[in-house]
Amino acid sequence: MSKKILIVDDAAFMRMMIKDILTKNGYEVVGEAENGTKAIEKFKELSPDLVIMDITMPELDGIAAVKEIKKIDGDSKIIMCSAMGQQAMVIESIQAGARDFIVKPFQAERVVEAVKKVLG
């Protein structure tokens, strides 16, 4: 059975890029969300194996969403995405419970490597 992944990013083209990389590598994208609030709803609804979450989003940012998802499921697996130069946010997201992070602009190999590492 392929692993189910939820993609969270406020930019539709970023979600599309990540989805494309993942589906080409045999993963199933079960849902997408454009902000942290929707990410939490989708997480409850879909129970994905992995969440790939942007940090900077409207309504509820990625770090706040990670903390909420971790309350729902302490074993949830989350990979954060951030643009260059957001090291402090990356550290904060790891402390909040994220397992790894990928930096934008994405390299397909790095996305797949992070997903494989986190999903084991």
**Could you give the angle at the alpha carbon of 14 between the alpha carbons of 77 and 109, nearest 5°?**
65
More confident residue, 18 or 83: 18
What percent of the chain shows pLDDT beyond 90? Answer: 85
pLDDT of residue 69: 98
**Alpha carbons 117 and 31: distance in angstroms, whole number:** 21
Give the pLDDT confidence of 51-105 residue by residue, as tens digits: 999 999 999 999 999 999 999 999 999 999 988 666 788 889 999 999 999 988 8
Nearest to 9 by CA among 105, 114, 112, 113: 105
Question: Both tokens of residue 55?
Answer: 């940090």
Which amino acid is present at 87? Q
pLDDT interval class at 28 (50, 70, 90): very high
Nearest to 90 by CA among 105, 106, 79: 79
pLDDT of residue 87: 79
- Predicted confidence (pLDDT) at residue 1 exceeds the cutoff of 80: no
Element (H, E) at 22: helix 12-24
Which amino acid is present at 30? V
